Structure formats: C-alpha cells, structure tokens
Amino acid sequence: MKTKLIIGPNLYNWDPEIWRDFYFKIADEAPVDEVVLGEVICSKRAPLFNGFFDEVVERLENSGKKIIFSTLAEITSNIDRRLLAKQVSQKNIFIEANDVAALLNINNTPHAIGSYMNVYNEEALEFFAKNGATNITLSPEIPKSAIAELNKTAKNLNIDLEIIIYGRIGLALSARCYHARAHKLTKDSCKFICDEDPDGMDLTTLEGREFLTINGIQTMSYTCLNLANEINDLQKIGIYKFRISPQSKGTIHASKVFRNLLDNKIDKSEAMVLLEKEKINAPFSNGFFHGLPGNEWRV
C-alpha cells in the first residue's frame, strides 16, 4: 500500500485570516495526501471560518489533496447539534466522525472514525466496520503492542488504521470551558478568549513544572508527540497512514521531514535533528507508544 501522510484538523482558535493562510500553505507546500477540515472542539468557533471555508476547500482540491470533513468531538447543546447536522448533511463529502451522535446522521455510508472515539479492542473495530467505517484514527494513548493486534483485525475487516505521529495529544474533553474560566468568563460569554493561545494555554503545577495544556474545553498534553523514531516499527506492523496534528509553528516543516522519512530519503536521526529546529516551545514525547506515561521520552 502507498504510504499516506495526513494533516489532521486544526484544534485551536486561530484568527480566520491566519487559518486561511495556513491551509493555503498546506495546499501549496506540504507534501501530504489528505487534509482534514472542520471544527472539532467548539461549535462557537465554526462560524468564524465560514467566510474562507469554500476558498480553502477549492485551493486544497486544486492541489490534488483529498479532503475529509471532521465533526465535533462532544455534543452537549442545541448549538452543537445544529452544527453537527450541518456538518454531516453536505453532499458528496467524506466524514470523519468524532462523536457517536454523528453516526446517527451518516446512515451507514462510508466514513472515517476520528481519534476522539474509543477504539481499544477488536469488538469496537467490528462494530464500526459494520456501520460503514473504512478508516479509523487510533487514540495516541494506544501502545505499540495493541496497535499491532488491532491492525491484524483491521486488515481482515478491510479497514485502514491511521496513527497520529506528531503534535500535542488530546487527552480529555469537558462540558466546561477551561479557557473561559481561567479568565473569569463563562462558556456562553467567553469572548473567544482562546484565540490568545494559538497552541493552547500551558498549565503548571504548584511547583512551577509544566504539566498540561488547555484548549477551550479540551485538555491536552504539554509535550509534543513525536514518533519519528517509531516510524519503522509502525511500518513493520503494517501501518501506512500517518497523521500530523497542526500547530502554529513547524507543521509544514514537519510534513516535509516525515515525508522524507517515510520515503527513506533520511533516517530517524536526521529527522530528529530537523524536527528540533522548528517546533513549538515544548519537549517531545513518545511514552504512550512504549507503554509508559505519555509525557515521557524514550530514545
């Protein structure tokens, strides 16, 4: 199978013009096969990008990249339900479902399952396959041994497994907006304060140690996942689809590095040196892959 590199959905609240220009650069410069668009975290953010959405889709399609439309990861209000209905009602699009509520609207048509849906065992794979899933992005917390076992079943079910290899890790979602609360605001009158933190708001422990990152209702890792050293292991398992989660800095650079790594034009040592040169201000981690605490780094 041809190795594929994918840009996942943007999880942050960027200025609309910055959001547009980011995807224009992805279209023009990033050596990726697929791009996932759509608001995943907060339904209030989605209208901010409506003015540029069609333009971005056209630019990406003209560059030859396949587009996948991702849904919200948490449905808790009427606003969320209306956005979800709009996201899945469009014709001739391929949907990535991040909440089971989306499946009620897809009606067994071919679709993808995002990393926010729990797929931890063979029974879950079988369930989603019977309901029309053709691609599943696994949660970054799943270790190598489990990925290997799941991929055996996925092949028998004719499902592709996709692995997130770069970017901050989404850990949990809440009905409450942490960003708003941190600024003494409510979720309904948040003033879109999350736009002040293009890679999330870092949290520290009482001792001053960096701990987690907050992105609206989402809790994320402080560290940046990086599986450059594990690409060969994943390929040996039989994985051929790899996802990069966007960050405000270094996403296109990372796509070029991983493309060269996947094509055997550079080795993992060279890839690590290159990735260190242009990244967000956070250390790398790969602990989950090795069955360790997720924020750890194993050489």
For residue 62, give both structure tokens.
């003209």
Q: Name the percent of the chain lying above pLDDT 70.
A: 100
Query: Strand pairing partners for 167?
Result: 225
In a domain, 184, yes or no: no
Residue 4 buriedness (CB in 10 A; 0-12 / 13-18 / 19+): middle
In a domain, 215, yes or no: no
Distance in angstroms (rounded) separating the CA atoms of residues 154 and 290: 21
**CA 163 → CA 50, 102, 171, distances in Å?**
29, 21, 15
pLDDT of residue 104: 84
For residue 165, give both structure tokens.
């290899």
In a domain, 119, yes or no: yes
Give the strand pairing for 95-97 and 160-173: unpaired
In a domain, 129, yes or no: yes
In a domain, 196, yes or no: no
In a domain, 100, yes or no: yes
CA nearest to 56, candidates 29, 37, 42: 37
CATH of residue 108's domain is: 3.20.20.70
In a domain, 31, yes or no: yes
Q: Which amino acid is at 263?
A: D
Number of domains in the chain: 1
Average per-residue pLDDT in the chain? 94
Residue 247 lies in domain: 4-168+224-287
Q: Dihedral sign, CA of 4, 21, 192, 87?
A: negative
pLDDT of residue 10: 97
Q: What is the pLDDT of residues 145-174, one digit of tens each?
A: 999 999 999 999 999 999 999 999 999 999
pLDDT of residue 82: 86
Mean pLDDT lowest among 90-104, 209-223, 227-241, 265-279:
90-104
The better pLDDT of the pair 105, 181 is held by 181
